Structures are given as C-alpha cells and as structure tokens.
C-alpha cells in the first residue's frame, strides 16, 4: 500500500511536469511557425527585390545569384511534390500512380507485369497450382516494385536535402551582397526590419527549445516526497482485546469497589444490630438487651424522660443511668468490666 502511494505521488509529479512540457511544446511550435514566417518574408523580399537592386546598383552578380536561387528553389519544390505523391501512392498500393510519378522504365515494367498477373488470376480456378504460382509471382513483383520505389524515394530525399543546403547558401550570399550594396533608404529600412524580426524570432525559438529540453529532463528526475523508513512486520499478537490489561484493570476496579462498599457499610450502613452479632464480636458470657426507655414509659402510662421503676430493672443498670448514658437500648456484658457499648 505504501509503495503504491509513493508511486502514485511520483507519477502525479511527473504528470504535472509533463503537462507543463505540453504547454511549452505548444509555445515552441508557435514560435517556430513565427520564425519560419519571418525568414520566409525576409527571403521573399530579398528575392523579389534582387532584380530591382541589381538594376539600381548595376551589379550583375546579384542578378545571376538570384536566377540560380530561383532554379534551386524550383527544383526543391518539384522534388518535394514528387516525394509526397510517391509516399501517398505506396501507402494506398496505387502502383500505377507511383510508376507514373517516378517515371522509370523498370517500375513501369513491374507495374505492367502486376496488371497481367491479376488478369491471369481472374481466368484460373482458385486453389489450383497455377493460381498459387501466379500469387507467388505477384508477391515477388510487388516486393520488387516497393524496393525499387523506396530506392527512388531515398534519392529524392537526398536531392531535396542537397537543394535545401544550396538554397540556404545562396540566400545567405545574396543577402550579404544586397546588404553591402548601395540601397535606397526605403528598401534598406524594410530589409532591416525584416532581418530584425527574423533574428528575434530565432532567439526566442532557441530559448524556448532549451527550456523545453530542461522540462523534459526534469520530468524523469522527479523524486517522491515520501519514502519508506522501515517496512511493516506482522504483529506478535493480537492488538485487541488485550486480555492481560483487561484483567488487571478489572482486578483494580473490583478491589476499589470492594473497599468503597466496605467503608460505606462500616461508617453509614452497618453496625451491631442484634445480640447474636454482638456476642459473636466481643465473646461475652451473658448478653442483656434493654428496652427503650421511651417505649417502656409509654407502655406504663408515664411521661417520657421519667425514671423507670427500680423494681423493673436490674440493680447493675442504675450506675449507667446516673453516669448520663442514653436511655435507648443500653447493653452491658456480664463478663469482666470493660468499656460501655
């Protein structure tokens, strides 16, 4: 999962850089188009003005160079048109068009043989030995036709490249000769403007091309913002439930609840509530329970707080009353003297 996240993050950064590359590539194409237009405008102006400049300056070398340049340009355009037509014909398997365009006897013979084989195939039984032989021969003729046509195409490409190089050299020579000649101010100003436009377009194109290559290099030098410090290992035990911890917490809570319950019972709820309980605590030999003095007086028709009749009480209880002990439920042990309870 972590590796997939890192790969996704890295791919996202690369896609962001490539998106910027696409925008820059579009700008480069626009700048290139502007550069081509500026150069073409400058060259067209020079060629169109070469005759006038040669007549005004009296320089025949400029006129001769102009004628040679026009011839080279015409030859290059013708070769380019032929190349385009042949490539289209080969892609569409239009052998007659290719043969007519290249206009070579070998290709015309091969195209004629290809037509004859197709006519013979139309008159034989499909699947027979003669039909198979004709198809084999047809494949060989077409392969030979393509190979020879490709040879002609390669020659056309070399011819176009050579014409373009000659054209460039002639344009530079013609431009240099014209700029060094005595030109009218109007022609000189226009030529300078076109030349500067071409130079500016060339500089912008070079800068954008360098920037485009830098962005393409950055796209493959991106690093992920995250990395794996340590791979996750399987746990030694279950993370939940933690049995040992739960038992420990349950024991502590149970102990606290028990102590709280014992404290509440001892201080607020519990106490000695029966003679049997008292006997079990202090271990007496004789336990006596005294009735409430209020209930005793009420049952005898007396008033609350009156001294009970001494005849009704044990003689040993009168010192308790004289010492100020409460009249309710007094208990005394018959054992050895001890604290009152």
Residue pLDDT, tens place only, 215-254: 878 777 777 666 777 677 777 777 777 788 889 999 999 9
Decide which of 317 and 199 is more confident: 199
- 270 confidence band (pLDDT: 50, 70, 90): low
- In the predicted model, is pLDDT for residue 324 greater than 50? no
Of 33, 38, 71, 47, the closest CA to residue 163 belongs to: 71
Across the range 83-91, mean pLDDT stands at 87
Q: Residues 287, 333: contact at Cβ < 8 Å?
A: yes
What is the pLDDT averaged over residues 302-307?
A: 49
Instruction: Please tell me which residue, 183 or 319, carries the higher pLDDT value.
Output: 183
Q: What's the rounded Cα separation, in Å, for the pair 12 and 18?
A: 10
Residue 251: the pLDDT is 93
Range from 51-60, 82-91, 242-251, 317-326 carrying the lowest mean pLDDT: 317-326
The residues facing 287 across adjacent strands are 333
Q: What percent of the chain has pLDDT over 70?
A: 77
Does residue 21 register a pLDDT over 70? yes
* Mean pLDDT to the nearest integer, 254-276: 79
User: Considering the chain, what is the average pLDDT of its residues?
Assistant: 76
What local confidence, expressed as pLDDT, does residue 256 receive?
Answer: 94
Query: At 293, is the pLDDT very low, low, confident or very high (cuts 50, 70, 90)?
Result: low
Polymer length of the chain: 341
Determine the pLDDT at residue 254: 93
- Report whether 56 contacts 184 (CB < 8 A): yes
Q: Which pLDDT score, from 0 to 100, does residue 318 have?
A: 47
d(CA 278, CA 134): 132
- Pick 224 or 85 by higher pLDDT: 85
Helix, strand or coil, per DSSP, at residue 333 = strand
Instruction: Determine how many CB atoms are found less than 10 A away from the CB of residue 83.
Output: 18
Q: Residues 135, 141, 143, 145: is their CA dihedral positive or negative?
A: negative
C-alpha closest to that of 173 among 165, 185, 162:
165
SS3 state at 116: helix
pLDDT at 294: 56
Collect all residues with Cβ–Cβ distance below 8 Å to 246 and sequence separation of at least 6. none
| Degrees, nearest 5: CA angle 269-270-275 | 140
Give the DSSP per-residue string, 59-111: -HHHHHHHHHHHHHHHHHHHHHHHHHHHHHHHHTT-HHHHHHHHT-HHHHHHH
- Its pTM stands at 0.44
- Start-to-end C-alpha separation, the chain: 77
Give the model's pLDDT for residue 317. Answer: 46
Q: Output the CA–CA distances (angstroms, integers) from residue 311 to 71, 308, 314, 315, 325, in the order listed.
A: 163, 8, 8, 9, 19
**What's the pLDDT score for residue 273?**
65
pLDDT at position 319: 46
In tens, the pLDDT along 31-44 reads 888 888 887 787 77
**Any bridge partners for residue 333, and if so which?**
287
Tell me the mean pLDDT in the region 293-300.
54
Longest dimension (CA), the chain: 172
> Which phi and psi (to 5°) does residue 332 adopt?
-140, 140
Whether 191 contacts 7, CB under 8 Å: no
Per DSSP, the residues of 143-209 read HHHHHHHHHHHHHHHHHHHHHHHHHHHHHHHHHHHHHTS---HHHHHHHHHHHHHHHHHHHHHHHHH
| CA pair distance 162, 155, nearest whole angstrom | 11
pLDDT in tens, 162-213: 988 888 888 788 877 777 777 777 777 887 788 788 888 888 888 888 888 8
Quote the pLDDT of residue 249.
92
d(CA 72, CA 236): 84
The CA radius of gyration of the chain, in Å to the nearest whole number, is 60
């Amino acid at each position: 999962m972590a590796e997939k996240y890192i790969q996704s993050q890295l791919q996202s950064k690369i896609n962001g850089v490539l998106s910027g590359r696409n925008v820059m590539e579009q700008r480069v194409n626009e700048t290139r188009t502007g550069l081509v237009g500026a150069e073409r405008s400058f060259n067209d102006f020079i060629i169109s003005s070469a005759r006038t400049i040669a007549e005004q300056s009296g320089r025949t070398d400029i006129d001769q160079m102009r004628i040679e340049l026009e011839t080279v340009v015409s030859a290059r355009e013708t070769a380019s048109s032929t190349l385009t037509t042949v490539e289209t014909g080969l892609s569409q398997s239009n052998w007659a068009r290719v043969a007519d365009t290249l206009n070579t006897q070998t290709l015309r013979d091969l195209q004629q043989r290809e037509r004859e084989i197709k006519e013979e195939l139309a008159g034989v039984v499909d699947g027979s030995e003669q039909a198979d032989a004709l198809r084999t021969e047809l494949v060989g003729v077409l392969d030979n036709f393509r190979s020879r046509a490709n040879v002609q195409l390669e020659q056309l490409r070399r011819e176009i490249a050579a014409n373009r190089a000659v054209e460039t050299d002639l344009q530079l020579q013609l431009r240099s000769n014209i700029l060094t000649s005595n030109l009218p101010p109007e022609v000189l100003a226009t030529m300078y403007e076109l030349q500067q436009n071409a130079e500016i377009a060339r500089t912008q194109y070079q800068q954008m091309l360098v920037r485009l290559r830098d962005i393409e290099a950055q796209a493959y030098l991106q690093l992920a913002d995250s990395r794996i410090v340590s791979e996750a290992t399987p746990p030694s035990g279950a993370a939940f439930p933690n049995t040992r911890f739960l038992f420990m917490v349950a024991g502590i809570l149970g102990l606290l609840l028990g102590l709280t319950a014992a404290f509440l019972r001892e201080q607020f709820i519990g106490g000695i509530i029966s003679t049997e309980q008292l006997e079990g605590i202090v271990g007496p030999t004789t336990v006596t329970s005294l009735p409430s003095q209020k209930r005793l007086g009420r049952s005898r028709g007396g008033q609350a707080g009156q001294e009970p009749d001494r005849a009704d009480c044990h003689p040993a209880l009168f010192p308790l009353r004289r010492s100020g002990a409460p009249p309710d439920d007094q208990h005394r042990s018959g054992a050895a003297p001890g604290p009152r309870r």
